[in-house]
Amino acid sequence: MPSSVEQYPLPDYERPPLVETVLGVQFERIERFGNGHLGAFWRTLDTGEWPTVSDAPLLPPQFERFGNNSRWAASLQFSLSPAPVSRLQIRHQDGERMIQVQNGRLHFNWLGRAGGVYPRYETVRQGFHAALEQFVKFLDREKLGDFRPNQWEVTYLNHIVKGTVWNTPSDWRFFRPLCGLPSIEGLVYGESFSGEWHFVIPERRGRLHIQWEHAVRSEPQETEVIVLTLTARGPLGRESDLSDGILSSLDLGRETIVRAFRDFMSDEANRYWGLRNDPG
């Protein structure tokens, strides 16, 4: 039975501070899959629509495990590879979409920093779905091995610009877990903060990770920002299918992130970004 909060519509904002969304799936490494196959996969796409490719460092494997000390042990992972491997980033001609592929991961990004308006989750989900279907067909056609997913992941990256819901670190109480930055009158005052929080999704379906960073953004002009990253991630069975397993898990991650964002923000901040569907 859904919890009381799940009975309300998902929060929706007119002007969210969102600059990037990433939907991804991690899968078991495929022994026969090499760097040459990254380029071969790109050529299965419409290269006029997806014209630009670049190499990037590998993303390390991530696993959300539960049990004694499992949260901390998860970050201590090392892997050895007999040959250098890379991650291929395939960018759409509009500059707002990107497919990322490596042996063990496939991600689909919406890149709001290119200047576009967020097309909403459903559109990004469709893009991920299409890219993953194309990739699984490629593996089957080339007889490279089975696609066996083991982890889902959703990331929302926000830039909260100085002069919007905050002007000084003492205003950071708009984010309830932080409650502002402390100062001692006449002695010291808060200047900056970076930190992270980790939460378990009920029934151990995954975790929500939140990172806060005070930074300077150079474009379109130099200004201070809070980079607030929310990542939901959880396990998948190796036989999970596309709809009932992977996509429904991504939906869970998206719901966790948007509800947490709404509840962790002050009423004033939510009003500033134009919150709709507010049960309060």
DSSP code for 22: E
Q: Which pLDDT score is estimated for 80?
A: 47
Residue 261 lies in a domain: yes
Q: Which pLDDT score is estimated for 279?
A: 59
Q: Which pLDDT score is estimated for 218?
A: 80
Enter the pTM of the model: 0.90
Q: Which pLDDT score is estimated for 252?
A: 96
Two tokens at 155?
């990331």
DSSP code for 272: H
Residue 2 lies in a domain: no
Reduced to 3 states, what is the DSSP secondary structure of residue 264? helix
Q: Which pLDDT score is estimated for 161?
A: 95
CB-CB neighbours of 38 under 10 Å: 20
Burial class (CB in 10 A: 0-12, 13-18, 19+), 132: buried
In the chain, the amino acid numbered 269 is: A
Residue 66 lies in a domain: yes
Q: Which pLDDT score is estimated for 5?
A: 45
In the chain, the amino acid numbered 18 is: L
Cα–Cα distance for residue pair 210/207, rounded to 1 Å = 10
Residue 166 lies in a domain: yes
Tens-level pLDDT at each residue, the chain (280 residues): 344 445 578 999 999 999 999 999 999 999 999 999 999 999 999 999 999 999 999 999 999 988 765 654 444 444 444 555 789 999 999 999 999 999 999 999 999 875 678 889 999 999 999 999 999 999 999 999 999 999 999 999 999 999 999 999 989 999 999 877 778 888 888 889 999 999 999 999 999 999 999 999 887 788 999 999 999 999 998 777 776 799 999 999 999 999 999 999 999 999 999 998 765 5
Q: Which pLDDT score is estimated for 75?
A: 43
Q: Which pLDDT score is estimated for 223?
A: 92
Residue 3 lies in a domain: no
> Could you give the number of structural domains in the chain?
1
Residue 206 lies in a domain: yes
Q: Which pLDDT score is estimated for 90?
A: 98
Two tokens at 271?
């009003």
Burial class (CB in 10 A: 0-12, 13-18, 19+), 48: exposed
Range of the domain at 117: 13-276
Residue 50 lies in a domain: yes
| Residue 259 CA: distances (Å) to CA of 100, 133, 253, 268 | 27, 29, 10, 16
Residue 7 lies in a domain: no
